[in-house]
A = this chain, B = another copy of it.
Amino acid sequence: MNEKFNRLRLIRSANVGPVSYVQLVRRYGSAGKALEMLPELAARGGGRAPRIASADAVQREMEQTAKLGAQYLFLGDPDYPYLLAELSNAPPALIYRGNLSLLSHPTVAIVGARNASAAACRFSRDLANSLMNEGVTVVSGLARGIDTAAHQGSIGKCAVAVIAGGIDVYFPPENQGLQEQIARDGLLLAEQPPGTEPRARHFPYRNRIIAGVSQGTIVVEAAPRSGSLITARLAAEAGRHVMAVPGSPLDPRSRGCNGLIREGATLIQSVDDIMEQISHFDERAAGANFTYDLFETQNRPEKLRETAPDNHAPNIDTNIDADIDSAARQSLTNLLSMTPVSVDELVRQSRLPAASVQMMLLELELAGRLSRHAGARVGLSG
């Protein structure tokens, strides 16, 4: 229990994100030890000690969560969804209400436009309903339009909603009833602490969870550059199926989906097309691009544990000493800019050991000088 408390305190501390969280716990063996190290690491990264979440605040959050009838799920827990654990930026802690076992069934996400056409909403609802009848869990984001329709079609049995704000915050407000119904009959997931009003930056975080728990993501009506396309991209990056429902080129809401299909997404016309696709899901391929995953062996089902490729070796050498020389530090800092660049590229160009690069990046992040971006890329903070 003390370790869980420390884990929550670690992820609630400033400058600690999902990636640095895993690196810290892996390097120092426990969240408690990692918390102790934060000031020193940030100093090495050239910044002030990050604001560490107070024990009181963490205690209050845990009490509030319990009062809401919600529970915590930590990365590494036996019932943490193993597909989500595959993500390099898997949420260290989730708060949930409802039936977690829904995520051990085949799971697909249905996402799309908030201002979707009536026809597309009907199609999404019917599709979700057919998936439910096939024993498939349907995930979406509780937004207006397609998300709402997908939940409505699968409500009462296999509806999973991931929300951007706190588990007790209703957004949009008119979906309060639906959110409560999903929490009761399905599964409601939130990454932010209770009481958090969703802000713009929270939506891509939510989207990675939607894509991450699913074998595949289906996009129904999406404008170019919309959040649904971000979810699709995150699904593709995680090695999951990307599917899209086509529409007339005359409707701007079809542009996103048609574009996805042009880029290789599978065109979906019916539930059969989805079932055919997810029957080909190769669990070993999912997450194969990710370079570390602290807890994966605990979460992967037995059959996967045996056959998984050995691509999850930690890339922070726990024997690395803190005293990386200042020339190396200067060399890495010179390579960084506001433009995100992949960590692999930094390793190549700096000619430094990968573990040293990772360590220095961690220190810079904790110092508040580095931001992590999608696709294992990093850049200087704005």
Contacts and interface: CB of A to CB of B under 8 A. Distances in A.
Interface string A246-279: 1111100011001101100011111001000000
A244 to B, nearest CB: 9
A84 interface: no
Contact of A248 (B248, B255, B259, B266): B248
B254 A246 contact: yes
A96 interface: no
A351 B267 CA distance: 44
Contacts of A273: 262
Interface residues of A, number: 22
A98 to B, nearest CB: 31
A248 B247 CA distance: 4
A249 B248 CA distance: 10
Contact of A245 (B249, B255, B262, B268): B249
Contact of A249 (B250, B259, B270): B270
Nearest to A265: B267
Contacts of A122: 250
Contacts of A268: 249
A123 interface: yes
A200 interface: no
A144 B266 CA distance: 32
B248 A119 contact: yes
* Copies of this chain per assembly: 2
Contacts of A270: 249
Nearest to A247: B248
A120 interface: yes
15 contacts: A119-B248, A119-B250, A122-B250, A123-B248, A123-B250, A245-B248, A246-B249, A246-B254, A248-B248, A255-B269, A258-B269, A261-B267, A262-B266, A262-B267, A262-B273
Interface string A117-156: 0011011000000000000000000000000000000000
Output the residue of A119, A123, A248, A273 with the most chain B CB within 10 A.
A248
Nearest to A249: B269
List 5 A-B pairs, minimum CB-CB distance, nearest first: A246-B246, A249-B269, A262-B267, A261-B267, A247-B248
Contacts of A250: 119, 122-123
A123 B248 CA distance: 9
A253 to B, nearest CB: 11
Contacts of A246: 246-249, 254, 258, 261, 267
